[in-house]
Amino acid sequence: MLLRKHNNEGHMKNWFTDNRLQISGNLPGALCMTFCSLLVTPVAHGQSKTEVQTESSADSAEKDYEIIEVSAQRRLQDMQDVPVTVTQFGSETIKNARLREVEDVAVRTPGLTFDAFPSSQPRLFVRGVGSADRGAGGDPSTAVFLDEVYLGRPAAIAFDVFDTASIEVLKGPQGTLYGRNVVGGAVSINTAKPELDELSGSVEATAGNFNRKEGSAFVNIPVIDDTVAIRMSGAIRNRGGYVDNLYTGGEVDDQDSKHYRIHGLIEPNDDISILLSYDMTKDDGAGPDQHVLDLDTEDPLSAYWTVDQTRDITRSETDGRQKRETWGSRGQLIWDLGYGSLNYLISYRELEYDSYYDLDGGNAEQNAINLAAGNIEDSELFSQELRLQSNEDSDIAWVLGLYQYNADTIRRDLLDISIAGPTGTEVFYQNVELDSLAAYADVTFPVNDELNITAGIRYTEDEKWQDINNSESNTIVRSDEPFDVQASASWDAVTWRIGADYHLAKNHMIYTMISRGFKSGGFQDNPTSADAAAQPYDPEYATQYEVGMRSDYFNRSVIWNNTLFYMDYTNLQTSQIIGFNAVTENAGEASIKGYETDLRWRLDNGLSVNLNYAYTDATFDVFEEGGNDYAGNQMSRTPKHKAVLTPSYSFLFNNGNELLYALDYTYQSRIFDDNSNNDLEQREPSHVVNSRLIYTDGVGEWSVSLWAKNITNEKIRTHQGTFLGATLGSFNAPRTFGVTLRWNHY
């Protein structure tokens, strides 16, 4: 995402906020005022910390306004002209609000939720649409794209957002513009790319509680003037565990990660641009914290468990491990053909993942039942995409594309179980190959100066082959004979979108969009029998109807965007516990309807408030399982209400230095972790408060930031499941705080 400032004639101009509250007094007084203030200038989505409403000059009453350009439709557009719902975070917001991982993005985004089971294999849900299984035979319903490359495995969603240009969260089915078809939505991460004419760099260091030590840096080097440049970045993040293991004397839920990235840009002439990229992430931490949260008193096995809801301690038999190494290479060619551009993107990625941890957080002295689980996965992901699209200044915006995606995943799922003495092990080996081909087209046609018509279509063909066996399982958990099953299946679908946007006035646009998405079928990762292993589950489909309005007032000092949506969701792929197995089935039909609003109000004196709110009513229309009728139930991991309030206040000193205080408050209503809406598996409403105080010199060369997350030390269940008479789960991070020093060179 790019952000530009324009005056009312549309010309680019250099600017700085010279009309905010001038502070000539001493610093302690300013600090007192910032902490006592409740209304303060936001580090808003897509804005730098100094990007607030300003007067253009002393002799003019006209004001500058911002144009936030997003790439949600594969072309740069003013956010206020985009006929889809998208939440954006700009580079300054990412840095100042310490958005480091996908979980941080989920906390700040209404309509997006995050399931940590464990956090090294994240599962995302957008407007109620998500995938609960992590097996090799399934696909995520909400996708993550890193520099337009689809990250097709949950454990492959591993990156550090340091030196990132923008993050965009698109809501609803995607497919006519993005490479891989998804039904729920997409999170698109756009890293900063090389600049041909600028030698620049930055160094950042952080220290905090729990022995947090972090360092990150980037450098942009022009190698050949106006022709070749490279940009290198890296981050090392370490901290101790949030949870002490009283049984082993160790710690769990710690962090030891390294992230590296390099881009090389070559522009031999005005018509050709070549970008070569490599990135790598390596994690080597202990397991997550797990606890016995509640007892299912209707199950006689509940007598074997001891409840332990203390967040900062565990008594698990092992500290566990979460090891992950993933890397990827990427090449992109953009060729200006005059009438349009040819864009070719090719990527290859590998993932090595190894996890093992105690599921119940106890030991034999505490629980007569002991559970431990692990996953080992090796994946190779390959994709290529060829796009022919219109120029940015073309009256008709169009794109034609071909897409290929291949995934080869070998996965081993392990469950160790002990029940009052007897022990057993269940092991599944699964090898799945996926081949996907697609062709798509999308066009936006202006009928006149006010009205645009948009239409897109896509054809997708997916084929999967799997080999699965459970020959190492023993009789305590397996009731049938061991099996080794090979199976294959294929699916195809035509998906589309059609809509229109109409500019009622210069600052007001209304739109409507209907989009249909598809996610291919798959195979069980923990089948209960040979027959179940050979039988695939069906694809799921979602059709979303959306109307919205984009409005700004008082020369964009107030922006208010509103969206209403309804989604018809069929053949949902849901995962339920049957015996010792998590089984994925198609669950009939669901209706999802809701409302989202985004209000941003910036004042000339440094005051500003952002408010984002989402109401989501996601319920099953048809869902029967095990003789139970769950029609009318709330879909799992979907709060009805989620609101994010970001007030802040900014002081500008006479010497140009700036002091910014910002606060983020997130409210999320009740969530059920299971589609059966079991009372044992509900998360109570949560309130999370984060804050930061940032002092920056007038030219932006250095800054110091004092920050805190989860200030009120809210304890929130991040995942839970009822199994063998107990609800097992984990908690969020406790209160964390620290100081970050940053030096920039431009």
pLDDT at 61 over 70: no
What is the percentage of the chain residues whose pLDDT exceeds 70? 88
CA–CA distance, 638 with 616 (Å, rounded to integer): 7
Q: How far apart are the first and last CA of the chain?
A: 20
Residue 735 CA from chain centroid, whole number: 22
pLDDT at 140 over 80: yes
At 629, give phi and psi (nearest 5°).
-100, 115
Closest CA to 186 of 282, 265, 72: 72
The answer to pTM > 0.85 is: yes
- Token pair for 165: 């240009």
Read off the CATH number of the domain in which 360 is found: 2.40.170.20
- Lowest-pLDDT range, 164-173, 266-275, 314-323? 164-173
- Lowest-pLDDT range, 198-207, 305-314, 406-415, 622-631? 622-631
Question: How many Cβ atoms sit within 10 Å of the Cβ of residue 14?
Answer: 5
pLDDT at 358 over 60: yes
Closest CA to 125 of 137, 134, 112: 112
Q: What's the total number of domains in the chain?
A: 1
Segment 23-45 shows an average pLDDT of 35
Confidence of residue 25 (pLDDT cuts 50, 70, 90): very low
Residue 148 is predicted with a pLDDT of 92
| Run of H or E residues at 532 | helix 530-534
- Token pair for 25: 């007094």
Segment 659-684 shows an average pLDDT of 91
Domain of residue 459, residue span: 2-745
* HSE-CB for 136 with a 13 A CA cutoff: 30
Handedness of CA 479, 482, 488, 494 (dihedral sign): positive
| Run of H or E residues at 95 | helix 91-96
Residue 37 is predicted with a pLDDT of 36
Residue 57 is predicted with a pLDDT of 29
Segment 308-321 shows an average pLDDT of 93
For 693-732, write each residue's pLDDT tens digit. 999 998 889 999 999 999 999 999 988 888 889 999 999 9
For 507-556, write each residue's pLDDT tens digit. 999 999 999 999 999 998 888 888 989 999 999 999 999 999 999 999 88
Residue 579 is predicted with a pLDDT of 64
pLDDT at 69 over 80: no
For 220-232, write each residue's pLDDT tens digit. 999 998 999 999 9
CB neighbours of 650 closer than 8 A, spacing ≥ 6? Answer: 17, 20, 21, 40, 41, 49, 50, 52, 606, 608, 658, 659, 660, 661
DSSP conformation class of 225: T
Question: How many Cβ atoms sit within 10 Å of the Cβ of residue 392?
Answer: 10
CA–CA distance, 30 with 23 (Å, rounded to integer): 7
Task: Pick left, alpha or beta for residue 304 (phi over 0 → left; psi -120 to 50 → alpha; otherwise beta).
Answer: alpha
